[in-house]
Amino acid sequence: MEGNGSKVKEIVNSYGGNRDSLISILQDVQSEYQYLPEDALRHVAAQLQLPVIQVYGVATFFKAFSLEPKGKHIVNVCLGTACHVRSAPSIVDEFERQLGICRGETTKDMEFTLETLNCLGTCALGPVVVVDGKYYGEVTPGKVSKILNEYREAPRDTKHEELEIGS
Ligand code: FES
């Protein structure tokens, strides 16, 4: 098996090769590669004996799945109403300026992907930014470089669940 085949096989086997587990399998594949590489999707289809188009259909239907490579660190800026009125767009602008990318893009060195989302359920702390699962509350444009510096050359840690307020 070439490319990502052996890892994908391991993941599919961990679900007993069950087609009903397609979404969970794709989640695990994405956790492995940070996105869904095309050859991995083909391997999933082959091992579950499903049409490739069906696997693609699921991969493109859910917003949580990405067919594009993402950076080592995922920066999410909340643009929900409560954060928006507290100047969240200026925070997005500052991340774009410092990273040299637009929202939805990844830096050339594959370190950061900048994304936006709507309401994380912590509106009282807005504007809220989440990096690799770590929350930052009451963010201002002046705090953007401090946040980024925490992650520059730092290993990705998706288990962060801390809540930082106004630091
Ligand atoms: S609007 Fe940003 S957390 Fe609710």
CA 120–ligand 1 middle distance (angstroms): 5
Task: Quote the pTM value.
Answer: 0.71
119 lines ligand 1 (CB under 6 A): yes
State which ligand 1 atom lies nearest to the alpha carbon of 88: 2
122 lines ligand 1 (CB under 6 A): yes
Q: For residue 161, what pLDDT is reported?
A: 47
CA 110–ligand 1 middle distance (angstroms): 27
What is the DSSP secondary-structure string of the chain? --TTHHHHHHHHHHTTT-GGGHHHHHHHHHHHHSS--HHHHHHHHHHHT--HHHHHHHHHHSTT--SS---SEEEEEE-SHHHHTTTHHHHHHHHHHHHT--TT-B-TTSSEEEEEES--S-GGG-S-EEETTEEEES--GGGHHHHHHHHTTPPP-TT---EEE--
CA 77–ligand 1 middle distance (angstroms): 9
Set out the domains of the chain in order of their start, with CATH numbers.
5-61 (1.10.10), 73-165 (3.40.30.10)
The tens place of each residue's pLDDT in the chain, 167 residues long, gives: 456 778 999 999 999 999 999 999 999 999 898 889 999 999 999 999 999 999 999 999 988 899 988 898 999 999 999 999 999 999 999 999 999 999 999 999 999 999 999 998 999 999 999 999 899 999 999 999 999 999 986 555 554 444 455 44
